[in-house]
Structure 1
Amino acid sequence: MTMANELILIVEDNEKNRKLVRDVLQFRGYQTVEAETGEDAVRLARERRPALILMDIQLPGINGITALGELRSDPTTRAIPVIAVTASAMSTRARSSASPAMG
């Protein structure tokens, strides 16, 4: 199954990282929409219903883990696959906090 031409939501507060991911995905034929904050990610996911979300963990406002929890508690966004993307290693505490939201 190919996802080319599908919409992917990129959630990243770092402009250079966001551009890199966007350029790679668009080169491969994907459509993209972008959010810089967890709040915007939740709003855009509800509005646009992307096929996939690439979510940074460390975001301004609500972090990626909290945003993921909101997405999982909403029936309209619950089934959207989310891949956590972060430049820093998650602490043991952050990983254990993320586990319920990831499920």
Structure 2
Amino acid sequence: GRLSLGVFVVVITVQSIFLHGNVRMTFGPARWLVATPHFHHWHHAREPHAYNTNYANEFPVLDLLFGTFYLPAHRWPAQYGVDDVEPAGYLRQLAWSFRAGCRQGSTTP
């Protein structure tokens, strides 16, 4: 019921803040079971070998199953983001993510 939904929202919110945090811990074997900042930072990396990786928000094992897992040991991304500048305006920004450079198999984010 409502309590379950409330707990879910709190857990997901805390996890989202945690994943985007600048926490330099690797979490040992738990990194295969629960998404960590180290894992998620590679999802946002601006390095070609990290493009199209680490999509799972909660369970990295899903990326292992689908071949999108990427987690270099003892290394963090040097840069984050994309090369392009996003357009102004809400609708243009929504459409921007569907440009040709973002399609599957692309060599850019």
TM-score (norm 2): 0.25
Q: Which has the larger radius of gyration?
A: 2
Q: Which has the higher strand share?
A: 1
With a CA cutoff of 8 Å and minimum separation of 6, indicate the structure with the bigger relative contact order: 1
